[in-house]
Amino acid sequence: MHELSIAVSIVDAVCEELQRRGDPRLIAVHLTMGALSGVVKESLLFAYDAACEGTPLAGTQLVIEETPGEEFLVTALEIEDERDAAD
């Protein structure tokens, strides 16, 4: 299960980023996936939910943008706006 270990890497990376930003409430993770990265989108989406279980990412969405090339990046985190949440 290659995609599962990749999903776990995504979860680890995002957890670090969230911590560094004061643990905002995460809605979605945006990912850029190169066609040459060797990762299968459907398998990754499936593995993502499994990898998120029991982590601060549980229930969040993975939004994948497919591109040519080899890059495989978490491009952005969609979070709940704190200003609004404070109301």
Partner 1 sequence: MSETRLIEVRRNVFKKNDLLARELRARYRDAGTRVISLVSSPGSGKTAFLERTLTELRGRFRVAALVGDLATDNDAARLARTQVPVKQITTGTVCHLDAEMVQDALEEWTLSDLDFLFIENVGNLVCPSSYDLGESLRAVLMSVTEGEDKPRKYPTIFHSADVAIITKIDLADAVEFDRAAARASIEAVRPGMKVLEVSARTGAGMPEWLAEIER
Residue type at position 43: S
Which residues, 20 to 79, sit near partner 1 by CB under 8 A? 21, 27-28, 30-31, 36-39, 71-79
Place of tokens 């939910």: 49
d(CA 37, CA 16): 23
Question: Is the Cβ of residue 17 or residue 49 nearer to partner 1 in the bound state?
Answer: 17
Residue type at position 46: F
Contact residues for partner 1, defined by CB under 8 A: 1-2, 5-6, 9-10, 12-13, 17, 21, 27-28, 30-31, 36-39, 71-81, 83-85
